[in-house]
Structure 1
Amino acid sequence: MDQILGQVLRNAVWERLDMLSDLAERADDTSVVSVARSELPRLTEGWRAMLKAHEPDERGDCPTCSTRWHKCKAPCSVWQVAHEHLVAGGLAPQQSTRRLGRRRAAPAQAAPAQPVPQQQAGKHALVPPPAARGAIAGAPVR
């Protein structure tokens, strides 16, 4: 059950990011300004909260990325990605995130590809989309 709830949460986040990317690419200037005013503060607060959880401890280890058996020295991958996208990314030529693939790791840190679970269905799902779940369970979709 936790896996399903986790996937629902991840789907909602991916869908929100997709929606914001689509707005940035396709909306008129007035709409983009309106969305930027409402969404930029939320996005910056989200980054701050995530980075705070990855602040190094007194030994210089990331408490979130470290385990009992493996200590992760700062800056962890979260801080490296934050720097790449928020600081260094401003210096690099702009490319569409859709062409590059939003889940791709930086080339120097690329991890081996993980197999996609067979249950995956839909755009970001390990579970069927809501319409399919309602049809499968025989219950109305809300």
Structure 2
Amino acid sequence: NAHEAKIGKFKDAIVPNTNTSRDFIAELESDKYDDIKDKKIITYCTGGIRCEVISAMMKKRGFKDVYQIDGGIVKYGEAYGDDGLWEGSLRVFDNRMVVDFSDHTKTIGECTHCGGPTNNFENCARAECNELVLICLNCKQDPDLLYHTKACKAVSKSKVN
């Protein structure tokens, strides 16, 4: 999804503008990708499970030549490190949040606030939001920058006053 691809993706990948795999169904049905239905498509995801579901959905909707990476990006990274077609870090869904495949991983993420290089995600400071903010370690020092959106910040600040 677009969120994960902010810090890591395959070179020249088409990244759907979706936040979840479920959101991808609407993207498929929008005819947005009809021009690639006859091309070879390789789906990818962290561990390989979401890819199988997405690949099946794509085939059901008329995509002809769809594959997925066996074992997902994790297995690909173990095999090729940063010397293959993957660029950046891998967003994982445990306490690590981010995995690099080598000591020379390219940082492709950009801080939401200053645009500097980062692969650091932090939870929005508004507890009810629970969205992640891509933020560099320097900007992270300013508590006012730990909000997912200006609206989240405004709601939080209004509760304090």
Q: TM-score range by the shorter chain?
A: under 0.3
The higher radius of gyration belongs to 1
- So what's the TM-score if we normalise by structure 2? 0.26
- So what's the TM-score if we normalise by structure 1? 0.28
Which structure shows the bigger proportion of residues in helix conformation? 1
Which structure shows the bigger proportion of residues in strand conformation? 2
